[in-house]
Amino acid sequence: MSRTSPESLPEPSDFPESSDAGFTLMEVLVAFGILSVILALLFVAIHQTERTITSVESGSRFERKMEIIRYLLREELLGAYLNPNDPLTTFIGFPNREHHRETDSLLFTTLAQTRLSQSSPVSHLEGIQYLLFKSPGSDLFTLVHEQNTNLLSYGTQAVIPEKLLGDVWSLRIRYFDGMLWTDRWNSVQSHSLPLLTRFDIIVVDGKGEKRIFFEEVQIPQTTLNQNQGGGNEIPEGSGSTGN
């Protein structure tokens, strides 16, 4: 067995020194600073994502709600009924202004989908009204739909009010007689229904911005063989815009 001579042993200075000193205070502070920046950026990103999702969902709910209201307007106007020989049937549009804004209203009769009794020859009449009420503590309005389910009742009439839409800035209703648009309609005088009825609703959304929605409905000119006058077919329309 060979022996190593003392001359061949490495000097103590040739071995690497152990790094027991750890991180300096400056290195720890820098690491915490970087971590704080990363966490802050992550928090901002999550918050922005949540706000975007909430905004999209809120906008989608708002659009769906307006589409439901437009559908209701369309369906009820398509069922508008007028018989010049029946004083209970009417179609009357009232122009109005409040705070320099249109706050129009409309009252008309429709034929209900059901009859009062099995022996009734036709469905019973219903009264429909659209109007604005001032929202308490606000300069905005609430769109209300009132439905009188039985115009033939001489007792307590079943008037059912329903809030359709809040934060309404204005409601403008116009009527087309085949030649001109007008802001009022009185079937007692004209003995007829308008060819077209158009609703323009301005609503203030959750961001405080004004949104314009419109619905244009062509009312059938023949109801229960009661001809209300001629006219060319005019396309209907609906839509929305933002200011």
pLDDT in tens, the chain (243 residues): 555 555 555 555 555 555 555 667 777 777 777 888 888 887 777 767 666 666 555 557 778 888 888 888 888 898 888 888 888 888 999 999 998 899 999 999 887 655 555 555 556 678 899 999 988 888 899 999 988 876 665 455 567 778 888 899 999 999 999 899 999 999 988 888 999 999 999 999 877 889 898 899 998 875 543 433 434 444 455 555 654
Nearest to 122 by CA among 79, 77, 87: 79
pLDDT of amino acid 153: 56
pLDDT of amino acid 234: 45
Q: Which residues pair with 160 in a beta bridge?
A: 147
Residues 105, 143 contacting (CB under 8 angstroms): no
pLDDT of amino acid 171: 94
pLDDT of amino acid 104: 95
pLDDT of amino acid 233: 44
DSSP-based three-state secondary structure for 81? coil
Domain boundaries in the chain? Answer: 59-242
Residues 52, 60 contacting (CB under 8 angstroms): no
Which pTM was predicted?
0.65
- HEC profile for 42-71? HHHHHHHHHHHHHHHHHHHHHHHHHHHHHH
pLDDT of amino acid 237: 56
pLDDT of amino acid 202: 93
Question: Where does residue 173 rank: exposed (0-12), middle (13-18), buried (19+ CB within 10 A)?
Answer: buried
- Tell me the C-alpha distance between 231 and 182, whole Å: 17
Structure token pair of residue 10: 């490495």
